[in-house]
Amino acid sequence: MNYKKNSRIILIGLLIFIHSIPGIAQKGVAQSKPISPDLFGIFFEDINYAADGGLYAELIQNRSFEYSPTDKKTWNAFTAWEYITPGYAYGSVNVETTHPIHFNNPHYVVLNIEETHQDGVGLKNSGFDGIPVKQNEAYHFSVYLKELINHAIPVVVKLQGRKGEVYAEQTITTSSAGWKKYTLELTPNQTDDSVSLVIIAKSKGTLAIDEVSLFPANTFKQHGNGLRNDLATTIAALKPKFIRFPGGCLVHGDGLGNMYRWKNTIGPVEERVQQKNIWGYHQSVGLGFFEYFQFCEDIGAKPLPVLPAAVSCQNSGGTWRIGGTGQHALTINEMPAYIQDVLDLIEYANGPVTSTWGAKRAAAGHPRPFNLEYIGIGNEDKQTDTFRERFKMINDAVKKLHPEITVVGTVGPAPDGEDFDFGWKFANEQKINVVDEHCYMKPEWFIKNQHRYDVYNRKLSKVYIGEYASHGNTLYNALVEAAYMTSLERNGDVVQLASYAPLLAKKGNTQWNPDLIYFDRTKVYPTVNYYVQQMFGNNDGDLYYKNLITGINDSTVSASCVQDSKTGDIIIKLVNLEKTFQSAHINLNSFKNLNKQAALTVLSGNENDKNNFDNPDKVMPVNSELDVKKDIDFKMSSMSLNVIRIKSKK
Ligand code: AHR
């Protein structure tokens, strides 16, 4: 037997076999490992007016007269409304509760029109500090009216400028002594960033009014009860792999009565249960769980709804993180019904249309399932016995009936400390699928912690970094986050999900800084941090390659290399935190069939540069091309994130 020849054949066979395994180096030093395909997503919380007055496209503030001093001490059912009696008209106005459209929506307005003098008596709403409208674009108006005197009343609806200019006008004539919904379309003949909606009753009588609504026809994907197009488009451009919603502290709420109950947020908007927002304003819940699921589907992100762990925020009743009356819990007797609510959410998202909750999803216009894979239970909860007992009950029930669902637990508000340690101990005991770590830290923390997850035990719970941000919106802040994100890719076998927080903040209504995307009534202002998230979200992979890049030190220069197995594209990210050019060597010898040109995207500037309201585009990614060689000596600009995307001919 020719032993030498045979062993050569075996060796060649082995090499051919190795070459044929996707992700295994064909030549040279590269080794790959699978990483989470869901790694970079977003966390939407209704904080900073992110929902009402923000992403939710409703233009009327306090549309159903449900604001109250519980939301904010100075608010009441008539907040954002004005009673108007133009000319010599007169009458009176009252907020009443005796015969509402629905018991969940108790307040409505009664207009008593005593004398019109042709002008009429009515109401005016200026939206969220002014209603922005665009010339020749359609706006959908709707209102519920009830004649309280037995005859028809003509009601004029107009969009009116600051000086009383009328941009659009239509008339409704009432035709019912019971609550009836009326709709019409208004198309303004001018663009104006601050108009009011005026509703004027033009004949004597008494009229009940509720649920006054105005939406642009051009919402995101043109959905009714939809989302603001520019904001939703900006979010979609992040290409998030998942959306965690609706909070945060908002979820476990300011006291037990304020816990977020998903069932209160679905169905006809006039029947949803509104409530105070823990961040000091109001939740109309017009943007409710159906709309969140729909948005996820629209932008190809997996839904990650978070439900309370049957306990309220430990800071309830006090200023955030200072004082408060502590964690309150549902009683053990209340738990079976609460657990059923959690299970019903899974049915609502995934169940057949023949199931009770699947039928409600279908009734809302979505017979197909929403393909729920993840569910979060709890947020930053204090790790008390009370919490643990309830979390375990919920987790056990979900795992028993829905082993296909990945449960995300919580390990407190910080990346270390007592709750973190107790939380992890509990997670390990209970074998919780994934736990949610939060870190709002100084930039130095992100630099120092680039090896944090290298040592996490791969056999225990996976990690969701549900909220992270360095303290600021400068390029430096954004780049330390980028450096940290390269380490998340390297550890994408244990870090399953990660999301920057908070996502949205409305100018002048901000409870938390920094945020990822600022906005006002008409414009969107993405931060530099946003562009980092966008560059990662658009260039993610599911295989991680190590040892291909030299010249990195994970303190001022960091890098990662991933491959998207769907396209075969190789993606290299390099971060330079130095104020000088730096070089790194990229060894591509392992890869065959790479295109000769790569797409290069660079985000760079001075360390304190930031995008602000006056200069929103100061730091933006710049696209160009790069020649691809087997060995690339890549020169990074000072203070830069560089993404090289190389297509391969499959
Ligand atoms: O993102 C803002 C808040 O920070 C979240 O509501 C909470 O989870 C965290 O403490």
Q: Which two tokens stand for residue 338?
A: 């609460």
Omega of the bond prior to 246 within 30 degrees of 0, cis?
yes
Please identify, by atom number, the ligand 1 atom nearest to the C-alpha of residue 512: 2
**Measured distance CA(592)–CA(649) in Å, rounded:** 8
Indicate whether 17 pLDDT > 80.
no
Going by CA atoms, what residue is nearest to atom 10 of ligand 1?
413
Q: Write down the pTM of the prediction.
A: 0.94
**Three-state DSSP class for 389?**
helix
Give which of 226, 242, 244, 171 is closest to 203, Cα–Cα: 171
What percent of the chain lies above the pLDDT cut of 90? 92
**Measured distance CA(248)–CA(379) in Å, rounded:** 6
Indicate whether 4 pLDDT > 60.
no
- Beta-bridge partner residues of 201: 121, 155
Please identify, by atom number, the ligand 1 atom nearest to the C-alpha of residue 413: 10
Burial of residue 637, with CB atoms counted within 10 A of its CB: 0-12 exposed, 13-18 middle, 19 or more buried: middle
Going from the Cα of 454 to the center of ligand 1, the distance in angstroms, rounded, reads 26
Q: Residue 29's pLDDT band (boundaries 50, 70, 90)?
A: low
- Beta-bridge partner residues of 82: 124
Omega of the bond prior to 621 within 30 degrees of 0, cis?
no
Higher pLDDT, 8 or 324: 324
259 backbone dihedrals φ, ψ, rounded to 5°:
-60, 145
Going by CA atoms, what residue is nearest to atom 1 of ligand 1?
502
Indicate whether 330 pLDDT > 60.
yes
Widest CA span in the chain: 115
For the Cβ of 46 lying below 6 angstroms from any atom of ligand 1, the answer is no
Q: Which two tokens stand for residue 564?
A: 């998207």
Predicted pLDDT at 22: 37
Higher pLDDT, 116 or 306: 306
Going by CA atoms, what residue is nearest to atom 5 of ligand 1?
248
For the Cβ of 308 lying below 6 angstroms from any atom of ligand 1, the answer is no
**Measured distance CA(353)–CA(363) in Å, rounded:** 9
Going from the Cα of 248 to the center of ligand 1, the distance in angstroms, rounded, reads 5
Predicted pLDDT at 650: 61
Instruction: Give me the sign of the Cα torsion angle 403, 305, 410, 334.
Output: negative
Give which of 451, 452, 447 is closest to 437, Cα–Cα: 452
Round the average pLDDT of the chain to a whole number and report it: 94
For the Cβ of 248 lying below 6 angstroms from any atom of ligand 1, the answer is yes
Going from the Cα of 573 to the center of ligand 1, the distance in angstroms, rounded, reads 29
- Non-local CB neighbours of 434 within 8 Å, separated by 6+ positions: 374, 406, 407, 408, 409, 461, 462, 463, 464, 496, 497
Under a CB-based contact definition with an 8 Å cutoff, are residues 284 and 66 in contact? yes
Indicate whether 166 pLDDT > 90.
yes
Higher pLDDT, 247 or 554: 247
Going from the Cα of 621 to the center of ligand 1, the distance in angstroms, rounded, reads 28
236 backbone dihedrals φ, ψ, rounded to 5°:
-60, -30
**Three-state DSSP class for 97?**
coil
- Beta-bridge partner residues of 244: 43, 304
**Measured distance CA(649)–CA(645) in Å, rounded:** 13
For the Cβ of 313 lying below 6 angstroms from any atom of ligand 1, the answer is no
pLDDT of 172-186, one tens digit each? 999 999 999 999 999
Active site residue 481: no
- Beta-bridge partner residues of 646: 570, 598
For the Cβ of 379 lying below 6 angstroms from any atom of ligand 1, the answer is yes
Indicate whether 18 pLDDT > 50.
no
What mean pLDDT is predicted for residues 595-615?
98
Please identify, by atom number, the ligand 1 atom nearest to the C-alpha of residue 321: 10
Under a CB-based contact definition with an 8 Å cutoff, are residues 473 and 529 in contact? yes
pLDDT of 305-326, one tens digit each? 999 999 999 887 755 444 466 8
DSSP 8-64: HHHHHHHHHHHHHSTTS-SSSS-EEEE--TT-B-EE--S-TTSTBTTTB---STTTT
Burial of residue 392, with CB atoms counted within 10 A of its CB: 0-12 exposed, 13-18 middle, 19 or more buried: middle
Indicate whether 382 pLDDT > 90.
yes
- For tokens 């709804």, the residue is 305
Indicate whether 12 pLDDT > 80.
no
Under a CB-based contact definition with an 8 Å cutoff, are residues 446 and 555 in contact? no
Under a CB-based contact definition with an 8 Å cutoff, are residues 299 and 360 in contact? no
pLDDT of 537-556, one tens digit each? 999 999 999 999 999 998 99
Going from the Cα of 339 to the center of ligand 1, the distance in angstroms, rounded, reads 24
Eight-state DSSP code of residue 556:
S
Indicate whether 7 pLDDT > 70.
no
Instruction: Name the active-site residue from 45, 147, 270, 380.
Output: 380
Query: In angstroms, what is the C-alpha Rg of the chain?
Result: 28
Q: Which two tokens stand for residue 414?
A: 């910080």
What mean pLDDT is predicted for residues 614-620?
98
Amino acid at 404: E
Indicate whether 50 pLDDT > 80.
yes
Going from the Cα of 515 to the center of ligand 1, the distance in angstroms, rounded, reads 11
Predicted pLDDT at 325: 65
Predicted pLDDT at 324: 60
**Measured distance CA(489)–CA(574) in Å, rounded:** 12
Instruction: Give me the sign of the Cα torsion angle 523, 527, 533, 536.
Output: positive
Predicted pLDDT at 45: 98
**Three-state DSSP class for 5?**
helix
What mean pLDDT is predicted for residues 500-522?
98
Going by CA atoms, what residue is nearest to atom 2 of ligand 1?
502
Under a CB-based contact definition with an 8 Å cutoff, are residues 313 and 253 in contact? yes
Indicate whether 392 pLDDT > 70.
yes
Give, for ligand 1, the residue of 278, 307, 512 to mutate: max count of ligand atoms closer than 8 Å to Cβ.
512
Q: Residue 649's pLDDT band (boundaries 50, 70, 90)?
A: confident
pLDDT of 551-576, one tens digit each? 999 899 999 999 999 999 999 999 99
- Three state DSSP letters for 411-449: CCCCCCCHHHHHHHHHHHHHCCCEEEEEEEECHHHHHHH
Going by CA atoms, what residue is nearest to atom 4 of ligand 1?
248
Chain Cα centroid distance, residue 193 = 25
**Measured distance CA(148)–CA(609) in Å, rounded:** 60
375 backbone dihedrals φ, ψ, rounded to 5°:
-145, 130
